[in-house]
């Protein structure tokens, strides 16, 4: 049976903390969602502001190949008229092939929020659905607070569902708006519905109990044929059901069909693309698409992976565009190191190179370095031991100067002096702090020789004090995350001087990319 996936990242997802998109971002995300095979893309609430309305005008020019774009809004106001309601007319004006209307299905909300009668609420839903259905191909009725409303007064909710069906709704969306319903309740309630008398059922879960994905997938076994969610699970409060988990769960773990299946190898890239547009660091521990999803740390695990990976992974990471990572740490044995060297040639546990790398790793970790979260720096360590390392530049010295005048923010200016390809070069930069200044000066010096540097951006910067009891003499560990807008990598630096530790992590980031582009 075919299940439709309905994405609301551009509307409900934007209600999540720290999530914001420009109009151009929304267009690019919609195109990416269409390309991977999402069935419906909710573009926003055209009546709410100019940017939302502008999206629908802009998306008409993009000629999406698969997805239907949906305009979102609420029913007409109490005592109103559908023909003249501004919100309904704003949705119709978009000329989208589908419209989603939100209607109240919890008696308490009817009485306390919109302050009207049950009869008037029913009229609002019926006339709003019927009016929109005259002007578009499909109309979905979002039954807001459905599960809470059903538990409170099932007869009240069933009357709304039957009325919405008769008014022409193409789908009834059961919304767990408060996110407080558990899978057992979901299956029981959906199983009680007289589905033969109703329009097809869809579901929309929030993740306040951490069960939105489970609720969504369980609902399929009780007759739902439409699932709403967001990329990366973003949304109000704790977020929405995560389509990056739902889609592969359905495709690989059930007998249901989703249009996204042939392109699931692009799912990890989509997840990170949307995160980059929102300027949010991807969740490393996210199922399927997170960096940790197919990562193995203990030596015993790495040994099993080298022999029979299916015994340690429920699915191959390649199936959704992710990659297996063998982490290096004090728990790593020779099997881990050998596995990491596969891409460089044939080595075994007795190889002198493996022994040298393990010794170097132990020394570095004793000094405070940590490589399980800095794979790029570890890659450089390996290349140096194998004689496969190319230095991008040799540092001679740098000079930084910070100043503050009047009520203006402090500034740091700096110059950096390097040697590259037998030439002495200098770069200059200025920024609020020393790390940004070093980054700008390094780019200024190297860009004429290595144009690829324009592709690299610094995504994240973290500092940890390793021995705070040493006060000002304490060591710090710096992690830097970088990206070329397709991939991310992490590097590490350690020193009693925070600027020096930052420099180590920063230059490793550039050198890692410099070495990788010739692989």
- Token pair recorded at residue 154: 């099932």
Neighbours of 257 (CB within 10 A): 12
CB-CB neighbours of 408 under 10 Å: 8
Residues 175-184 have a mean pLDDT of 98
Average pLDDT (322-344) is: 69
Say if residues 236 and 12 touch (Cβ distance below 8 Å): yes
| pLDDT computed for residue 489 by the predictor | 92
> How far is it, in rounded angstroms, from Cα 369 to Cα 477?
7
Query: What confidence tens digit (pLDDT) does each residue in 35-81 have?
Result: 999 999 999 999 988 888 999 999 999 999 999 999 999 999 999 99
Q: List the chain domain ranges.
A: 4-277, 291-366, 394-516
> How much is the pTM?
0.76
Tell me which of 65-79, 166-180, 327-341 is least confident. Answer: 327-341
Asked if the model's pLDDT at residue 472 lies above 70, the reply is no
Q: What pLDDT, on a 0 to 100 scale, did the predictor assign at position 146?
A: 98
CB 465 within 8 A of CB 497: no
For residue 334, pLDDT beyond 70 = no
Strands (E) located in 230-313: 295-296
Taking alpha carbons only, the member of 68, 116, 66, 122 closest to residue 94 is: 68
Residue 347 tokens, joined: 């080595």
Mean pLDDT (the chain) is 91
Span 313-330, mean pLDDT?
82
Give the model's pLDDT for residue 259. Answer: 98
pLDDT of 336 higher than 80: no
Task: Summarize pLDDT for 118-128 with one digit per residue, the tens.
Answer: 999 999 999 99
What's 65's DSSP letter?
Answer: S
- State the fold for domain 394-516: Double Stranded RNA Binding Domain (3.30.160)
**What's the pLDDT score for residue 330?**
47
Least confidently predicted of 206-220, 265-279, 299-313, 473-487: 299-313
**Per-residue pLDDT, 41:** 98
In angstroms, the CA 224 to CA 191 distance is 10
**Cα angle for residues 13, 18, 21 (degrees, 5° grid):** 60
Pick the closest to residue 31 from 7, 3, 5 (CA basis).
7
pLDDT tens-place string over residues 342-368: 777 777 777 888 888 888 888 888 888
% pLDDT > 70, the chain: 94
Average pLDDT over residues 10-38: 95
Q: State the pLDDT at residue 192.
A: 98
> 104 pLDDT band (50/70/90 cuts)?
very high
Mean local confidence (pLDDT), 21-25: 91
Helix H or strand E segment including 210: none
pLDDT score recorded for residue 341:
80
For residues 232-254, average pLDDT: 98
Given a cut of 50, whether residue 331 has pLDDT beyond it is no
- Taking only the tens place, the pLDDT of each residue in 380-405 is 999 999 999 999 999 999 999 988 77
Nearest to 85 by CA among 125, 137, 34, 33: 125
Query: What is the DSSP pairing of strand 40-44 with strand 68-74?
Result: parallel
- Closest Cα to residue 367, out of 479, 496, 498? 496
What does the radius of gyration of the chain's CA atoms come to, in whole angstroms? 28
Query: Residue 349 has what pLDDT?
Result: 74
User: Which whole number is the average pLDDT over 322-342?
Assistant: 68
CATH class of the region 4-277? alpha beta
Distant-in-sequence contacts of 8-11, Cβ < 8 A, 24+ apart? 8/42, 8/72, 8/204, 8/228, 8/229, 8/230, 8/235, 8/240, 9/33, 9/230, 9/231, 9/232, 9/234, 9/274, 10/41, 10/42, 10/43, 10/44, 10/55, 11/42, 11/43, 11/44, 11/45, 11/72
Cα–Cα distance for residue pair 427/421, rounded to 1 Å: 15
DSSP secondary structure string, 293-341? GGEE-SHHHHHHHHH-GGGT-SS-GGGGT---EE--STT--HHHHHHHT
Is residue 443 scored above 70 in pLDDT? yes
Question: Whose structure tokens read 């075994």?
Answer: 348
pLDDT for the residue numbered 282? 87
Could you tell me where the DSSP H helices lie in 16-153?
23-36, 50-59, 86-93, 107-112, 118-133, 146-152
> Do 240 and 19 meet the contact criterion of CB atoms below 8 Å apart?
no
Report pLDDT for 301: 65
Q: Is the dihedral angle over the CA atoms 83, 88, 90, 94 positive or is it negative?
A: negative
Give CA angle at 512 (382, 447), nearest 5°.
150
- Report which listed range, 167-181, 293-307, 445-459, is most confident: 167-181
Which residues pair with residue 226 across a beta bridge? 4, 202
Residue 469: predicted pLDDT: 65
Would you say the CATH fold of 394-516 matches that of 4-277? no
pLDDT of residue 312: 85
């Amino acid at each position: 049976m075919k299940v439709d996936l309905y994405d609301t990242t551009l509307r409900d997802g934007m209600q999540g903390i720290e999530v914001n998109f420009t109009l151009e971002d929304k267009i690019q995300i919609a195109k990416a969602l269409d390309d991977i095979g999402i069935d419906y893309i909710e573009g926003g609430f055209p009546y709410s502001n100019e940017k939302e309305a502008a999206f629908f005008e802009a998306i008409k020019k993009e000629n999406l190949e698969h997805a239907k774009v949906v305009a979102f809004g609420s029913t007409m106001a109490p005592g109103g008229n559908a023909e003249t309601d501004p919100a309904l007319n704003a949705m119709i004006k978009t000329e989208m092939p589908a419209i989603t209307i939100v209607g109240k299905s919890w008696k308490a909300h009817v009485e306390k929020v919109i302050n009207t009668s049950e009869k008037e609420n029913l009229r609002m839903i019926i006339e709003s659905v019927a009016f929109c259905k005259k002007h578009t191909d499909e109309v979905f009725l979002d039954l807001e607070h459905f599960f809470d409303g059903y538990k409170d007064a099932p007869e009240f909710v069933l009357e709304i569902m039957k009325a919405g069906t008769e008014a022409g709704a193409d789908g009834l969306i059961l919304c767990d708006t408060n996110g407080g319903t558990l899978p057992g309740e979901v299956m029981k309630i959906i199983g009680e519905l007289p589905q033969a008398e109703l329009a097809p059922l869809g579901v929309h879960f929030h993740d306040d109990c951490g069960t939105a994905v489970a609720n969504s997938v369980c609902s399929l076994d009780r007759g739902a044929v439409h699932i709403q969610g967001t990329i990366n699970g973003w949304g109000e409060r704790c977020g929405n059901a995560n389509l990056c988990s739902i889609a592969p769960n359905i495709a690989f773990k059930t007998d249901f069909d989703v249009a996204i299946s042939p392109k699931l190898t692009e799912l990890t890239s989509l997840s990170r693309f949307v995160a980059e547009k929102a300027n949010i660091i991807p969740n490393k521990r996210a199922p399927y698409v997170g960096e940790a999803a197919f990562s193995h740390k203990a030596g015993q695990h790495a040994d099993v992976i080298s022999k029979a990976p299916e015994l340690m992974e429920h699915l191959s990471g390649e199936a959704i565009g992710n990659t297996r990572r063998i982490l290096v740490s004090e728990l790593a044995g020779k099997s881990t190191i050998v596995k990491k060297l596969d891409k460089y040639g044939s080595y075994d546990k007795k190889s002198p190179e493996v022994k040298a790398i393990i010794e170097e790793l132990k020394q570095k970790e004793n000094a405070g370095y940590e490589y399980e979260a800095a794979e790029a720096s570890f890659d450089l360590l390996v290349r140096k031991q194998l004689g496969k390392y190319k230095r991008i530049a040799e540092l001679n010295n740098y000079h930084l100067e910070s100043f503050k005048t009047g009520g203006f923010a402090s500034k740091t200016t700096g110059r950096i002096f390097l040697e590259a390809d037998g030439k002495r070069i200098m770069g200059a930069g200025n920024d609020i702090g020393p790390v940004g200044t070093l980054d700008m000066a390094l780019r200024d010096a190297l860009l004429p020789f290595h144009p690829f540097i324009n592709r690299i951006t610094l995504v994240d910067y973290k500092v940890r004090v390793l021995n705070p009891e040493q006060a000002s003499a304490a060591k710090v560990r710096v992690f830097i995350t970088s990206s070329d807008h397709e991939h991310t990598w992490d590097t590490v630096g350690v020193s009693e001087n925070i600027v020096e530790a930052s420099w180590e992590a920063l230059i490793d980031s550039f050198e890692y990319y410099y070495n990788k582009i010739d692989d």
